[in-house]
Amino acid sequence: MLQERDRPIGVFDSGIGGLTVVQEITRLLPNERIVYFGDTARVPYGTKSKESVIRFSKDNANVLLKYDVKVIVIACNTSTSWALNVLKREYAMPVIGVIEPGSRCAVQTTRKKRVGVIATQSTVASGKYVKTIQRFLKTARVFQKSCPLFVPLVEEGWLDHKVTENVALEYLTDLKKNDIDVLILGCTHYPLLKPVLQKVMGKNVTLVDSATETAREVKSLLERENLLRYSRHPAHHEFLVSDEPEHFRAMAKRFLGHDLPHVRRVDHV
């Protein structure tokens, strides 16, 4: 039996995008072991109903439990929107989502109290970012916009493409008119579009990347609970998917900056 602190961090996402969160956790906590599960058989979640997203999220958490994880990180914004409270209620271990960390950073950053959020349709429909931001700062005005085409553009690798810039202009021009000074990137894929988003929004708008903020939250939780892993040996990570691994492997490099030699397919429990 592994010591409590040597158990891995479990991270799940609807597919590949959660690797942006893995990258940040690895940067901040290089000693931590990670088991990542991407539900590639059922991606995307961003167009799905609350009921489906909750059901999928529970299935994903159950996969991670089989790997004896010490904490579950929901790296997907859409899953966090609908399923964070359900998982927190139903599972004994700590569960962290991506919405609170990003929202907290946004309220600490905004001077105008005017915050923009871009996300999937399902996340926008949940209103979870609006509620969370206003819980931290009652007087904040929040302006949301769903940007569904960004996910396939990122997966196609069109990060710095004129089509992507045109799509961003189309989505963001109206949002910009709301005089926001902070924009939350409320979807796992959007951090890869930072340069184009910054260009379209202008230098007076600060982009908040939920992945970075979530990694900080994971670190403080592990510190608080005395669960940090100390080791001189490099940590081992495991990458699991619910569909064939090849496509995931091919895209992983874009998200992580390096190849993923071992990706395994596993079935839901």
Q: Does 21 bind ligand DGL (CB under 6 A)?
A: no
Instruction: Count CA atoms closer than 13 A to 164's CA, side-chain side.
Output: 21
Tell me the C-alpha to C-alpha distance, in Å, between residue 138 and each of 24, 99, 131, 142, 213.
29, 17, 9, 11, 21
Among 43, 64, 83, 106, the residue binding ligand DGL under the rule CB under 6 A is 43
Q: Does 101 bind ligand DGL (CB under 6 A)?
A: no
Among 57, 120, 144, 212, the residue binding ligand DGL under the rule CB under 6 A is 120
Listed ranges 21-29, 162-170, 183-191, 251-259: which one lies at the site for ligand DGL (CB under 6 A): 183-191
Q: Does 126 bind ligand DGL (CB under 6 A)?
A: no
Is residue 147 annotated as part of the catalytic site, yes or no? no
Q: Does 60 bind ligand DGL (CB under 6 A)?
A: no
Size of the site for ligand DGL (CB under 6 A): 17
How would you list the strands of the sheet with 237-241, edge to edge? Answer: 95-96, 71-74, 9-13, 34-38, 237-241, 263-265
Listed ranges 22-30, 53-61, 71-79, 251-259: which one lies at the site for ligand DGL (CB under 6 A): 71-79
Which residue of the set 43, 73, 187, 260 is catalytic? 187
Number of alpha helices (DSSP H) and beta strands (DSSP E) in the chain = 11, 10
- 3-state DSSP assignment of residue 192: helix
Among 7, 10, 12, 13, the residue binding ligand DGL under the rule CB under 6 A is 13
Radius of gyration of the chain (CA): 18
Listed ranges 58-66, 75-83, 108-116, 195-203: which one lies at the site for ligand DGL (CB under 6 A): 75-83
**Please, which residue, 113 or 254, has the CB nearer to ligand DGL?**
254
Percent helix, percent strand, percent coil in the chain, to nearest 5:
50, 15, 35
Q: Does 17 bind ligand DGL (CB under 6 A)?
A: yes
**What count of other Cβ atoms lies within 10 Å of the Cβ of residue 267?**
8
Query: Which residues touch 56 (CB under 8 Å, ≥6 apart)?
Result: 14, 39, 42, 45, 48, 79
Q: Does 78 bind ligand DGL (CB under 6 A)?
A: yes
Which residue of the set 19, 53, 76, 98 is catalytic? 76
Catalytic residue list: 76, 187
